[in-house]
Amino acid sequence: MTVATGPSRYHPGRAAPLRGHPRTPPRRRDGRGEPARPGRTPRERHQHTVIVRSFKDIEGTDRHIKSASGTWESKRIVLAKEKVGFSLHETILYAGTETDMWYANHIEAVLCVEGEAELTNRETGEKHWITPGTMYLLNGHEKHTMRPKTDFRCICVFNPPVTGREDHDENGVYPLLTEPDEG
């Protein structure tokens, strides 16, 4: 037999849900009645802080990457080590260059904030002119080429997040790198 456990903390004045009911949230072992949070103590839940960082702050640091090809640079303001599920970058592709890319291991969304470039989907031959305020999303791991007419500054979001150490390999791919587990 199941019984009500007293007043509901979800709806004051109503009986609590029956213990063992599928919609009853799991209880903590300390009996305080709060939902369980596996693997996190109350102290750990409050260790998060607001991160405030500018692109200027990371110039010249290990977060400021210049490609081996010499066609782009990237300031990686949010990385995998922040453990938020994505990375965020400001990238500049240099005018008059051509960069072949293929994010075989990542999804990338790109928002142009300055400059102009031609985006070519190498799988279909389709071409797009990218200008400020234009976004493109590579959600099918498309092989693509960027040809900036002017210096092309964009904000990029990657999932899974990059670590900050990535550069394109001979196929234009970022390797899937991970951060070591903190022990």
Kindly report, residue by residue over 9-25, the tens digit of the pLDDT: 555 555 555 555 555 55
State how far Cα 80 lies from the chain centre. Answer: 8
Choose among 141, 143, 94, 139: nearest CA to 116: 94
Q: In what order do the strands lie in the sheet with 127-130?
A: 99-102, 143-148, 117-121, 127-130
**13 or 109, which is more confident?**
109
In this prediction, residue 163 carries a pLDDT of 80
Tokens of 152: 């092309």
26-84 per-position pLDDT tens digit: 555 555 555 555 555 555 554 678 999 999 999 999 999 998 889 999 999 999 899 89
Q: How far apart are CA 47 and CA 57, in angstroms?
A: 23
pLDDT for position 2: 47
pLDDT at 138: 87
Q: What is the mean pLDDT of the chain?
A: 79
**Cβ atoms of 181 and 146 closer than 8 Å:** no
> Measured in Å, how far apart are the chain's first and last C-alpha atoms?
44
| DSSP, res 4 | B
pLDDT of residue 171: 57
3-state DSSP helix/strand/coil % of the chain, to nearest 5: 5, 35, 60
Could you state, in order of their start, the residue ranges of all structural domains in the chain?
A: 1-48, 55-159
pLDDT of residue 1: 47
Matching CATH number, 55-159, of 1.10.357.10, 3.90.79.10, 3.60.20.10, 2.60.120.10: 2.60.120.10
Q: Read off the tokens for 64.
A: 């400021």
Is the predicted pLDDT of residue 105 greater than 90, yes or no? no
- Return the minimum-mean-pLDDT range out of 101-105, 112-116, 166-170: 166-170
* Cβ neighbourhood burial of 2 (10 Å; 0-12, 13-18, 19+): exposed
